[in-house]
């Protein structure tokens, strides 16, 4: 209910107010902002000046001193920006899991994978034993040792992207262990390092497979996508017993490895060396370890498949046919190979 007013002119004054004044244009606002910045630059910091000092110096001296004061804060601002870029890039949001091997009709077991640095990850272990093989092989299937392969997913992704590989490997009689690299399935706050530290997770997963009575410890391979491919190659470099590696779009050099961290804008390119230095210092890694030419030389005595997409090709999991055929042939060598059959690593594309 509206109360009576003793001042009859109140409503007249309220009704007499016109529309709000028009907002200044973009040019005027830009000039006003520039003017405020100039005044801030000319005005010395009050805590660092004596009373009436501003009036004792010329505008040029005041401008120079104000500029020097503000430049002193630049290192702090850069440290905050670089730290934010590194943290947000190495701690991507977790991808919600919507499917697992049971969605493909495959039995699987959840296993824990503990890396040498103490990081605990989770994996899906899919054996080759099923009702059809039990009927076909009977008791023999309990004593047969099968080849096995570790699957490593990409940065900022999850094990779900590797599901298309499980059925072909299972049908080929290959045990699979799909590992969720650090930060992917547990509450461990450690960041991801684009395959450098994840190589420890891949190596630990290989040891888990070797410890199972169902697998042949001398016929274990690793398949990786993106940063998972880098992890697979680094793990194979450390473990000479890994028989085969399939690397789908690994980082080709150090610059490509740390590219997701640095800013993409050209005018911010000066931040990229700082971001790379901060990343290597915080995680105690060397991005040059991911150099693909160096890794291919170190693994020249192993069976390695490189699948490299150019800038016009979109990488997808449809490489699984090529990958699964290569891994199957490498882990199931023919008893009498032809004399002219090529062996060794797959050639790198130009």
- CA geometry: angle at 271 spanning 286 and 227, to 5°? 40
C-alpha to C-alpha distance for 319 and 322, rounded to whole angstroms: 6
202 vs 48, higher pLDDT: 202
3-state SS, one letter per residue, for 162-178:
HHHHHHHHHHCCCEEEE
> What confidence tier does 5 reach under pLDDT thresholds 50, 70, 90?
low
Comparing 144-148, 198-202, 262-266, 312-316, the range with the smallest average pLDDT is 312-316
Tell me the mean pLDDT in the region 314-320: 58
Q: Is 114 helix (H, G, I), strand (E, B) or coil?
A: strand
C-alpha to C-alpha distance for 311 and 314, rounded to whole angstroms: 8
Indicate whether 181 pLDDT > 70.
Answer: yes
Tens of pLDDT, residues 198-250: 999 999 999 999 999 889 999 999 999 999 999 999 999 999 999 999 999 99
Tell me what percent of the residues of the chain surpass a pLDDT of 70: 72
Residue 65 has which token pair?
């001193």
> What confidence tier does 111 reach under pLDDT thresholds 50, 70, 90?
very high
C-alpha to C-alpha distance for 282 and 2, rounded to whole angstroms: 66
Comparing 227-231, 255-259, 316-320, the range with the smallest average pLDDT is 316-320
Indicate whether 350 pLDDT > 60.
Answer: no
Report pLDDT for 6. 57
Indicate whether 268 pLDDT > 70.
Answer: yes
| Mean pLDDT, the chain, integer | 80
Specify whether the CB–CB gap between 178 and 115 falls below 8 A. Answer: no
Specify whether the CB–CB gap between 192 and 125 falls below 8 A. Answer: no
> What confidence tier does 141 reach under pLDDT thresholds 50, 70, 90?
low
> What confidence tier does 133 reach under pLDDT thresholds 50, 70, 90?
low
Report pLDDT for 204. 96
> What confidence tier does 18 reach under pLDDT thresholds 50, 70, 90?
low
C-alpha to C-alpha distance for 208 and 149, rounded to whole angstroms: 11
> Beta partners for 246?
223, 305
Taking the domains of the chain in order of start, what are their residue ranges?
Answer: 101-256+287-331
Comparing 210-219, 224-233, 305-314, 327-336, the range with the smallest average pLDDT is 305-314
Tell me the mean pLDDT in the region 156-171: 91
111 vs 70, higher pLDDT: 111
Tell me which of 3.40.50.300, 2.40.30.10, 3.40.50.1820, 3.30.470.10 is the CATH number of domain 101-256+287-331: 3.40.50.1820
């Amino acid at each position: 209910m509206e109360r009576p007013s003793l001042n009859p002119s109140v409503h007249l004054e309220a009704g007499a107010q016109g529309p709000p004044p028009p907002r200044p244009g973009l040019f005027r606002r830009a000039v006003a902002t520039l003017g405020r910045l100039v005044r801030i630059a000319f005005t010395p910091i009050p805590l660092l000046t004596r009373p009436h000092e501003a009036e004792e110096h010329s505008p040029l001296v005041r401008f120079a001193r104000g500029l020097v004061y503000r430049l002193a804060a630049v290192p702090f601002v850069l440290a905050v920006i670089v730290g934010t870029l590194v943290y947000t890039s190495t701690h991507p949001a977790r991808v919600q899991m919507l499917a697992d091997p049971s969605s493909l009709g495959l039995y699987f077991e959840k296993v824990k994978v503990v890396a040498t640095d103490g990081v605990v990850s989770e994996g899906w272990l899919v054996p080759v034993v099923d009702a059809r093989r039990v009927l076909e092989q009977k008791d023999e299937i309990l004593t047969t040792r099968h080849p096995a392969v570790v699957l490593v997913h990409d940065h900022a992704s999850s094990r779900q992207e590797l599901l298309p590989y499980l059925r072909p490997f299972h049908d080929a009689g290959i045990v699979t262990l799909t590992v969720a690299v650090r930060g992917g399935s547990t509450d461990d706050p450690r960041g991801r390092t684009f395959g450098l530290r994840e190589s420890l997770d891949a190596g630990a997963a290989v040891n888990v497979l070797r410890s199972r009575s169902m697998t042949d410890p001398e016929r274990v391979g690793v398949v990786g996508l993106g940063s998972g491919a880098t992890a697979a190659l680094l793990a194979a470099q450390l473990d000479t017993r890994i028989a085969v590696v399939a690397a789908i779009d690994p980082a080709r050099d150090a610059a490509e490895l740390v590219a997701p961290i640095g800013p993409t804008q050209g005018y911010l390119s000066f931040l990229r060396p700082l971001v790379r230095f901060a990343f290597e210092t915080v995680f105690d890694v060397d991005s040059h370890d991911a150099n693909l030419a160096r890794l291919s030389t170190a693994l020249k005595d192993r069976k390695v498949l490189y699948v490299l997409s150019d800038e016009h090709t979109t990488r997808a999991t449809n490489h699984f046919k090529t990958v699964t055929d290569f891994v199957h042939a490498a882990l199931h060598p023919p008893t009498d190979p032809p004399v002219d059959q090529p062996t060794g690593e797959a050639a790198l594309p130009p």
